[in-house]
Amino acid sequence: MQNAKVAKKTDYTSVIQSYLSSRTGLVDLEELLPLFKVSVQTLRSKIKIAMAHDHSIRGRIAGVFPDTSSIIDEVEREIGLIEGHNLVLANVRSSELVEGWSRSFSEHFCKKMLGSNLNPATGKVTVTFDELRNQLLIPYERYLVQSGNGLVSIAGTLNQSLLVRALRNSGLNDTGSNPNFRETGTKSEGDIQIYFNGAKSRKTLSVEAKSYAARERLLRGLADIPIPKVGVGFFNDAREFGRDRITLMATSAQASALYMPDSTLRELTIDARYVEFPGTGRICRSLEREFVDDMHAFVNNGSIRSRSPC
């Protein structure tokens, strides 16, 4: 019983900070295990909590990424509050942080596994292909599984979390008994729902969020959720949004709007830009200038703003 009481009072953040201060470069998760009588899964969770309190810990423990909210907090310290106008900048900076940690973790793993077969001065590896596969490729696959595929998890949630942070920072509320919006992502509800709670009626706008590529996933996702609905993403290929594809999203999927970065919007053909949805006008809209504004309009009036062709 006495041991259990001591374990509850363990200050994980302080212990981790102290250990890292005595080391240079990256450390492996296994090095920290002897400091705590907990499972690997519990320790990983405690490290993420420590990272939320002390950003200097981030990137120091191989294979352990900060939680999405911690990454966004760090981005906001650099660029200010994430709002509609800087969503794309926040996305770029978030990606740079995650990719930097990922490269560092991969390099650390490779150097450790290759050992004396890697010449640090020249960067050359002196092994056969079979040796390389056995020493590096196969162990790395296991390492990714054991690390919980942290990079995959972050990539799947980061962009949506940026949208949510921008909505919160704009004054919309996703807590309490009468929220303006909430994250969903299940039962064909869309990834985010925006609510109009009028005196005589209530309406829900379903938002399907994607990352950089629309492909067929956006069309399928939009088709599965109830109307009214919109699509949003950090889409970076204007060729995915030709007139025929936009028309299909408006007629078949019945999406009222598609929000994309200004840089992508400018590259659309004129005829794609002029596709409209009955009652709300222009389908293709600016992620930076119009998304948050349209969500506020729905919360206040039960419909997104009508937009003229640009």
Asked if residue 97 has pLDDT above 90, the reply is yes
Cα–Cα distance for residue pair 32/34, rounded to 1 Å: 6
**What is the average pLDDT across 19-33?**
91
**What is the average pLDDT across 154-182?**
91
Q: Is 202 helix (H, G, I), strand (E, B) or coil?
A: strand
Asked if residue 149 has pLDDT above 60, the reply is no
Q: What is the dihedral of CA 225, 287, 237, 270, to 10 degrees?
A: 100
What would the pLDDT profile of 209-220 be if each residue is shown by its tens digit? 988 887 778 888
Residue environment code for 153-180, b if the CB has 16+ CB neighbours within 10 A, otherwise e: ebeebbbbbbbbbbbbebebebeeeeeb
Q: At what angle do helices 40-53 and 68-79 cross, to 10 degrees?
A: 20
Cα–Cα distance for residue pair 83/76, rounded to 1 Å: 10
Backbone angles phi, psi at 307, to 5 degrees: -120, 135
Q: What share of the chain in percent tops pLDDT 70?
A: 92
Confidence of residue 6 (pLDDT cuts 50, 70, 90): very low
Which residue spans within 69-211 are E strands per DSSP? 181-183, 192-197, 202-210
pLDDT given at position 82: 97
Beta-carbon contacts of 38 under 8 Å, excluding residues fewer than 6 positions away, are 7, 46
pLDDT given at position 122: 85
Question: Across the chain, what does the average pLDDT equal?
Answer: 88
Confidence of residue 17 (pLDDT cuts 50, 70, 90): very high
| Least reliable range by pLDDT among 21-35, 77-91, 145-159, 170-184 | 145-159
pLDDT given at position 1: 44
**What's this model's pTM, rounded to 2 decimal places?**
0.85
**What is the average pLDDT across 189-213?**
90
CB 40 within 8 A of CB 33: yes
**What is the average pLDDT across 230-238?**
93
Q: Is 310 helix (H, G, I), strand (E, B) or coil?
A: coil
Helix ranges (DSSP H) in 39-86 = 40-53, 68-79
Asked if residue 153 has pLDDT above 70, the reply is no
Q: What is the dihedral of CA 181, 51, 234, 256, to 10 degrees?
A: -10
pLDDT given at position 15: 92
pLDDT given at position 120: 82
Per-residue tokens: 203 = 């309406």
| Least reliable range by pLDDT among 5-14, 225-234, 294-303 | 5-14
Integer distance in angstroms from the first to the last C-alpha of the chain? Answer: 70
What would the pLDDT profile of 108-117 be if each residue is shown by its tens digit? 888 888 888 8
Asked if residue 152 has pLDDT above 80, the reply is no
